[in-house]
Structure 1
Amino acid sequence: MKTLNEHLSQYAAYHRDRRNIVTHFIGIPMILLAVVVLLARPAFEVAGLSVSAATLAVIAATLYYLRLDLRFGVAMGVLLALCLAVAQATASLSTGAWATFGVGLFVVGWVIQFVGHIFEGRKPAFVDDIMGLVIGPLFVVAELAFLLGLRREVEAVVESRAGPVRSGRAMNT
Structure 2
Amino acid sequence: MIMSSSLIMIKVNNYLNFGELQGDLFFEEEKTFYSLSFESKQKDVGEIHWTTSYQFGKMNIVYFLRQENFFYLFTSTPEHFNILKKILTHLFQGEINIELLKVPRKSKFVDINDNRVCDIKYDENFGFSANLKIENWSSLLKFYSNGLITYKMNDNRQLIDEIISICKALLDGVVKQNE
Give your verdict on TM over 0.5.
no
Higher RCO structure, 1 or 2 (CA under 8 Å, sep 6+) = 1
Structure with the higher fraction of residues in strand conformation: 2
TM-score range, shorter chain: under 0.3
TM-score normalised per structure 1: 0.26
TM-score normalised per structure 2: 0.26
Structure with the higher fraction of residues in helix conformation: 1
